[in-house]
Structure 1
Amino acid sequence: MHILFLTDNFPPEGNAPATRTYEHAIRWVKAGHKVTVITCAPNFPEGVVFDGYKNSWYQTENLDGINVVRVKTYITANEGFAKRILDYISFMFSSFFAGLYQKKPDIIVATSPQFFCACAGWALSAIRRKPFIFELRDIWPASITAVGAMKDSFAIKILEKLELFLYNRADSIISVTHAFKKELIERGVDSNKIEVVLNGVDLTKYQPVICKDPEFVKQFNLEEKFVVGYVGTHGLAHGLEHIVSVAESLKENDNIRFIFAGGGAARKKVVELVNQKQLKNIILIDRQPKEMMPKLWSLCDLSLVPLVNNELFRTVIPSKIFECMGMGIPTIMSVPEGEATAIIKDTASGLVVESENVEEIKKAILKLYNDTDLYNEIRLSSINSAKLFSRDLMASKMLSIFSKVLNK
């Protein structure tokens, strides 16, 4: 099978969409399939092209057996609605034209969060008369209004109509959460063509922490410190100002350190708050290459997974929880009650507290800091649960969906 996959995020970018696609694709290649990924020059989230790459019209590389085609796009930072739309639309057109030149694909897959990528996938499938699979990673454009990036308007209504058009035209929809599937069914999408493939963890890379990475420990002066980490994209949806407030409330405890590692639209705000409050218990770490992430995670005794208190985020499952399971790092999740909180509770891999509640987050940190037995119990549960979300299982499930669509 030749799988043609469209995504505007791909390694060396290290965000969740890039990681999911890459870790699935290398497994499809190992299973004997040909995989072509059409993407853009790596630039997420700062909107700056990574060293060693150019924003060229068409360039190719082979990455671990995956044929990667990079196309020219309008590049901007992950902030500002209008510029991001230009970014998305430019990728829609350039990926579509690049897709016309790929030899004999059997199936065309396009992934969200934004669905202009899916527009290109659908158009290619229509012209090349191949099945179109829509991988649904986010309910978009609802997530735009949820974080306040844009108010409900005529433009949003148009985007919603386009959204439903793509759902209905897809031969199959692969949702990353059961909640997304439920919502689509409620909106009239045929339930028979919606499958769920959760995010997962590559257990060959994310393994239980035996000791913290000594170089990072020394670099950031974390010897014998209990480290609470927010690692990943600093987005508007994460409400990171509340985590800064948590750190401020614990600044008198010299044994506890907080790290903020990554970049994104809210990074500048976090840095400004830390400097304004003169917080010495917060370590700011720049975005790291994907291959360094296990070493970075090894610093953390706890992982913070926050989302703002919006109804939409009941349906979201932050992918970092699976990496934390693989490494045996307990999670403190402060998101609206939903599918993600159910996973943490069912696997006993962390504590769940109210979204945006500074006092509850603080109490949960202190609870695991002070109660060694509880901490070790949750750590063990995390490690044991990780195999349920193995990337091997998820990649295999996607392949079976592709085969089912091809054999219709």
Structure 2
Amino acid sequence: MEEILIISNYYPPEKGAAANRIEQLALKLHQNNYRVTVVCPLGNYPKGTLFPEYKGKFSVTEKRDGILVKRLWIYPSVSKNLFVRILSVLSFSSCLFFYLLFKKTPQKVVVQSPPLLLSFLSVLVLSWKNKKIILNVSDLWPLAAIELEALKIGSFSHKCSLFMEQFIYKKSTLVLGQSEEIIAHVGSLFQNKKCYLYRNFPDHNLGKMELETKENEPIKLFYAGLLGVAQGVLELCQKIDLKGLNVELHLFGDGAEKNQIEAFISSQNERKIIFHGMLDRKMLHEKLQTLDIAIVPLKTRIYGSVPSKIFEYSALGFPILYFGGGEGETIVKENHLGWVAQVENYTDLNRQLRLISSLKKQELDLIKRKIFETTTVTFNLDHQIQNLISQGVF
């Protein structure tokens, strides 16, 4: 049985797309006869405080569904203070650097990027040790940081980030890109680099669609995920126009905008936006079964980024209302997964909502079933992993 190591900044019981994505990769490799080890921080995301089971500990080794998980110390934080956030990143990165330097590691290593500093230090040490480095790129940094206005072009931080980005692409054995745009970007920098598309397909193991479409109830739109600045959920709540429509918006999640969102909802007379808080993945999927359409927003179009929610929820049978631009827009259109509104264009979004409001429940149920049938074949994680294994990626 071959060994493989995965390095990630997130892993369950942490919540969110990044943790779910890495867990799915680990489980699928395990199912294909790899002995998988994951190195990650002590659980703290998204609240930025250590989970009770990890408090007072420097490191923890545990087994989760056949995966050996080694958790290293981190000073957790979701502070907006730049110094505190850098300190948090450096704490885990430093522990990881010495772990990789002195511990025996498998010949094959998957390195998740971003965070950029984490992937840089990992690739640095692993290249010294002549390991096969499989760089799994889910977002393009620092490009995404520039588009989100978190970095200024030409600043010292930007120059350092560009150096680290080029270093990890150059020193990695091959690159897994979550989008065609990522593959194109890496290829533009290093034309001979082996690059492979690896989508964030889920693994729901459903033989049939489990969604219920309830008559005599409003059409229930939902957002489930991080309530951060990049997603723009607060602005969505402020600018979405549900007045006179047969539509409700249900919100699930946690993050920096949570308190503002709750305050805004409580100030509204017409309670058509309902906040449910953060639920674990299993409970969330049970709660979602009686809802109707997943909205996937981004505050700005980010080159290279394809929200995993497109795959996650369409694979359950949910139509997608996509509001983020870029490659995600193409995926929704080409696979007939629902509706697309121009990114940052709330006039267009509200026009799409009026179309959705006019749907009969029988029409909506038929749309769900068609999407479920399509995605069962098109977004198949088993086929994707087996194809990559056959090509010698892992």
Q: TM-score, normalised by structure 1?
A: 0.88
- 1:198 deviates by 0.9
CA deviations on 1:180-223 (whole Å, 9 max, x unpaired) are: 1112222x2234411111110113169623338xxxx9xxxx99
Identify the match of residue 260 of structure 1 among 227, 231, 251: 251
Change beyond 3 A, Cα 1:323–1:46: same
Farther off after superposition, 80-89 or 161-170:
80-89
Asked if 1:233 is matched to 2:234, the reply is: no
Asked if 1:185 is matched to 2:178, the reply is: no
Q: Partner of 2:70 in structure 1?
A: 69
CA deviations on 1:74-97 (whole Å, 9 max, x unpaired) are: 200275544333222222221232
CA contact (8 A) 1:7 1:38 kept: yes
CA deviations on 1:338-394 (whole Å, 9 max, x unpaired) are: 311111011101111111222322222231232236534532332122221122123
Q: Partner of 2:143 in structure 1?
A: 142
Q: Distance in 2 between matches of 1:211 and 1:308?
A: 30
CA contact (8 A) 1:38 1:98 kept: no
CA contact (8 A) 1:226 1:369 kept: yes
Q: Partner of 2:167 in structure 1?
A: 165
Q: Partner of 1:384 in structure 2?
A: 373
In structure 1, give the amino acid aligned to 2:304.
T
Q: Answer 1 or 2: higher relative contact order, Cα 8 Å, separation at least 6.
A: 1
Identify the match of residue 178 of structure 2 among 176, 179, 182: 176
For residue 201 of structure 1, give the secondary structure of its aligned residue in structure 2: coil
Change beyond 3 A, Cα 1:240–1:385: same
CA contact (8 A) 1:206 1:294 kept: no
Unaligned runs of 5+ in 1: none
In structure 1, give the amino acid aligned to 2:173.
D
Q: Partner of 1:356 in structure 2?
A: 344
Q: Distance in 1 between matches of 2:235 and 2:74?
A: 35
CA contact (8 A) 2:230 2:300 kept: no
Equivalent residues in 2 for 1:312-391, closer than 5 Å: 313-336=302-325, 338-372=326-360, 375-387=364-376, 388-391=378-381
- 1:286 deviates by 1.4
Q: Distance in 2 between matches of 1:207 and 1:147?
A: 39
CA contact (8 A) 1:38 1:99 kept: no
Q: Partner of 1:269 in structure 2?
A: 260
Equivalent residues in 2 for 1:40-189, closer than 5 Å: 40-54=41-55, 56-77=57-78, 79-100=80-101, 102-152=103-153, 153-186=155-188, 188-189=189-190
For residue 371 of structure 1, give the secondary structure of its aligned residue in structure 2: coil
- 1:404 deviates by 4.6
- 1:60 deviates by 0.5
> Relative to total residues, which structure has the larger helix share, 1 or 2?
1
In structure 2, give the amino acid aligned to 1:384.
E
In structure 2, give the amino acid aligned to 1:244.
C
Q: Distance in 2 between matches of 1:160 and 1:339?
A: 23
Q: Distance in 2 between matches of 1:115 and 1:160?
A: 10
Farther off after superposition, 25-34 or 222-231:
222-231
Q: Distance in 1 between matches of 2:83 and 2:366?
A: 47
Q: Partner of 2:287 in structure 1?
A: 296
RMSD: 2.5
Q: Distance in 2 between matches of 1:145 and 1:7?
A: 23
For residue 315 of structure 1, give the secondary structure of its aligned residue in structure 2: coil
Change beyond 3 A, Cα 1:241–1:123: same
In structure 2, give the amino acid aligned to 1:308.
K
Q: Partner of 2:242 in structure 1?
A: 250
Identify the match of residue 217 of structure 2 among 217, 220, 224: 224
Q: Partner of 2:278 in structure 1?
A: 287
- 1:244 deviates by 0.7
Q: Partner of 1:19 in structure 2?
A: 20
Identity level (%): 24
Q: Distance in 2 between matches of 1:273 and 1:148?
A: 25
CA contact (8 A) 1:13 1:290 kept: no
CA deviations on 1:3-50 (whole Å, 9 max, x unpaired) are: 111101001112112111111211211221111100112211121222
Unaligned runs of 5+ in 2: none
In structure 1, give the amino acid aligned to 2:191.
D
- 1:61 deviates by 0.4
State the aligned residue count. Answer: 390
For residue 386 of structure 1, give the secondary structure of its aligned residue in structure 2: helix
For residue 238 of structure 1, give the secondary structure of its aligned residue in structure 2: coil
